[in-house]
Chain A
Amino acid sequence: MITLKVNGRDHQVDAEPDTPLLYVLRDDLALNAAKFGCGLGQCGACTVIVDGKAVLACVTPMVLLEGKQVTTLEGLGTTADPAPIQRAFLDEQAAQCGYCIAGMMMRAQALLMRNSSPDDDEIRSELEPHLCRCGTHMRILRAVRRAAGLMNRADLSTESGAIR
């Protein structure tokens, strides 16, 4: 058994040390926001936050996560009470098929946690590892800018948008 801290709770997981985090999140913990895209760490759909940094869950084995804090999109907010980043993506209607969006939101969240007012170049280069085949790119950029505004206004910039 491995202890995994996800969204502020300890989970006992029966998994081999080489199991990718993504499989544990989806199959064992029913946290399905992070998606399986390429399985090679090349598309970004599986992105979650580990100790404040955006991490590709499909190429992160359990053995690397001892003592670390994992946050998934479910840990940011709920449908009833969305976090600023989720609120902003909804307001901008930044999803088309939506498959890549959970990963995009997580990397954007990690960016906003360390830089509360990124400029467009910073947002673009940060989101570069994420592939989106629909074409809402401009809306995604607007949503990240909007989330930054929401967080700064609510002064939620570091503590949360809201990691819990």
Chain B
Amino acid sequence: MTRSGVIIGVLAALVVGGAAFVFAVVWQPAIATIDPSQQTFANDLVKRGRALAAIGNCSNCHTARGAKDFAGGVAVPTPFGTVFSSNITPDADTGLGRWSEAAFRRAMRDGIDREGRHLYPTFPYDHFTHVSDEDDRALYAYLMTREPVRAAAPANRLSFPFDRRPLIAGWKLLFFRNETYRPDSSKSAEWNRGAYLVEGLAHCGACHTPRNALGAERASAAFSGGDVDNWQAYAINARSPSPVPWDADALFAYLRDGWHPDHGTARGPMAQVVANLSSVDPEDVRAIATYMAGVFGQPAGDRRHDAKTVLAEVKPMADRASEANRAGASIYAAACASCHESGRALPYGGVNLALSTAISGPDPRNLANIVLSGISPREGERSPIMPGFASSMNDDQVVALLAYLRARFSDQSAWTGVDRVVADARRTQVATLGTVAASRQPPADSAQRDKP
């Protein structure tokens, strides 16, 4: 065969192969519309769906601050541009109103919308694919019985070629496996329940697992820490930077209450997660805690063990740090110590900062965010509070404070580039606060929580 013959042959094969690929993978059929007014759902199904939606933290991405529940339009920044969450209320024109249960299940399982378009993996179907049909049915029932809100999501702002949805089919071939959760019979039922929730609906890895250049979770680094908005989602495996190692009891209390005396307070995007988990069946939270305790594993031999040991080691560091950074030391003494050294336990006093994960973390983003924005009280709960210092501290003061806190309260090496991080945190503060759902809470009265 001549050389040109070979080239033509290869090209022809590519074209045929490409067409087959397009047909088999890229093209997906639409699923017929339904009439939303014809649907009814059993109350207990809706109620179960409500708890599942809380575990799935749906509201965090699908409810904009101050806007109607589940009406979407929340800007999700990605390295490829901004994706806007969709309206998942049962509005017929702008929401899921005309979606059948089969269409909803396909979106959860395969990341394809009713019309057959591939969804961006910003919607974490790489996790939701594990959700059982039964749970999808309950979620569907819950969402289809919410108040319909007419609100079209803004168009995504993605750079070429990422604005081409067929490309997602290729992404799926590389990174997406749609398989349902398979229980591990060597483990307890509780562990398996936790694994099902964590790997599936709760999609913990979506924030806590680092992503590769194409935005897929790196399976080899599961739970090693990732980025979300301008926050760091800590490593929640053996690499956790928490001064006191986590165990199942601490995880349960933290996920339920939003704070733990040895670890401090959930903030940023995690605040919404724990607010949602406070409303669900405690047994499910217990299962998540049990599974995650296994992921954290036994602390390595040189890890300091309990809060008492950690606190005993702080004192010698204090003098050295104060000597080296008088500006930071005096700000800490004046602005922070009155609560953080009050000796009152959480939630009424501040956590002793030697126990703070933010101060022992690999970068100062979370600490900068919290110093600037503080912690808002949660409606209807006894919850930790902290005033934000964005208006009363300038960047130099925040930088001095952060450097001091790191030197005094952590045995980790000093951070670099703190000034840039503080400037970034100040810039993104307003934008981030504007998109995080306000402290939407399930009813504090537990009798109300059972209502659909």
CB pair B66–A121 under 8 Å, yes or no, is: yes
Interface membership of A132, Cβ < 8 A = no
Residue of A nearest to B338 (CB): A18
Interface membership of B33, Cβ < 8 A = no
Interface membership of A62, Cβ < 8 A = yes
Assuming the contacts A40-B385, A121-B66, asked whether A61 and B391 have C-beta atoms less than 8 A apart, the reply is: no
Partner of A42, one of B330, B338, B385, B392: B385
Mostly, the A contact residues are mixed
Assuming the contacts A50-B392, A64-B392, A125-B66, asked whether A42 and B334 have C-beta atoms less than 8 A apart, the reply is: no
CB pair A41–B391 under 8 Å, yes or no, is: no
Interface membership of B121, Cβ < 8 A = no
Interface membership of B387, Cβ < 8 A = yes
Q: Which residues of the other chain, B, contact A125 by a CB distance below 8 angstroms? A: 66
CB pair A61–B334 under 8 Å, yes or no, is: yes
CB pair B66–A17 under 8 Å, yes or no, is: no
Q: How far is the CB of B151 from chain A (nearest CB, A)?
A: 16
CA distance A61 to B393 in the complex (A): 10
Q: Which residues of the other chain, B, contact A40 by a CB distance below 8 angstroms? A: 385, 387
CA distance A102 to B330 in the complex (A): 30
- Over the window 1-41 of chain A, the binary record of Cβ atoms lying under 8 Å from chain B Cβ atoms (1 yes, 0 no) is 00000000000000001100000000000000000000011
Interface membership of B155, Cβ < 8 A = no
Q: Which residues of the other chain, B, contact A54 by a CB distance below 8 angstroms? A: 391
CB pair B331–A63 under 8 Å, yes or no, is: yes
Q: How far is the CB of B271 from chain A (nearest CB, A)?
A: 17
CB pair A18–B387 under 8 Å, yes or no, is: no
Interface membership of A141, Cβ < 8 A = no
Interface membership of B442, Cβ < 8 A = no
CA distance A42 to B377 in the complex (A): 9
Interface membership of B189, Cβ < 8 A = no
CB pair A41–B66 under 8 Å, yes or no, is: no
Q: Which residues of the other chain, B, contact A17 by a CB distance below 8 angstroms? A: 330, 333-334
Q: How far is the CB of B348 from chain A (nearest CB, A)?
A: 10
Interface membership of B166, Cβ < 8 A = no
CB pair A64–B397 under 8 Å, yes or no, is: yes
CB pair A59–B377 under 8 Å, yes or no, is: no
- Over the window 102-144 of chain B, the binary record of Cβ atoms lying under 8 Å from chain A Cβ atoms (1 yes, 0 no) is 0000000000000000000000000000000000000000000
CB pair A59–B391 under 8 Å, yes or no, is: no
Residue of A nearest to B339 (CB): A40
CA distance A62 to B335 in the complex (A): 9
Beta-carbon contacts under 8 Å, B375-397 to A: 377, 385, 387, 389, 391-393, 397
Partner of A59, one of B66, B335, B397: B335
Q: Which residues of the other chain, A, contact B66 by a CB distance below 8 angstroms? A: 121, 125
Q: Which residues of the other chain, B, contact A64 by a CB distance below 8 angstroms? A: 331, 334-335, 389, 392-393, 397
CA distance A84 to B190 in the complex (A): 64
Partner of B330, one of A41, A53, A56, A63: A63
Which residues of A line the B interface, CB within 8 A? 17-18, 40-42, 50, 53-56, 59-64, 121, 125
Which residues of B line the A interface, CB within 8 A? 66, 330-331, 333-335, 337-338, 374, 377, 385, 387, 389, 391-393, 397
19 A-B residue pairs with Cβ-Cβ distance under 8 Å, sorted by A, are: A18-B333, A18-B334, A18-B337, A41-B387, A42-B377, A50-B391, A50-B392, A55-B392, A56-B387, A59-B335, A59-B387, A60-B392, A61-B334, A63-B330, A63-B334, A64-B334, A64-B335, A64-B389, A64-B397
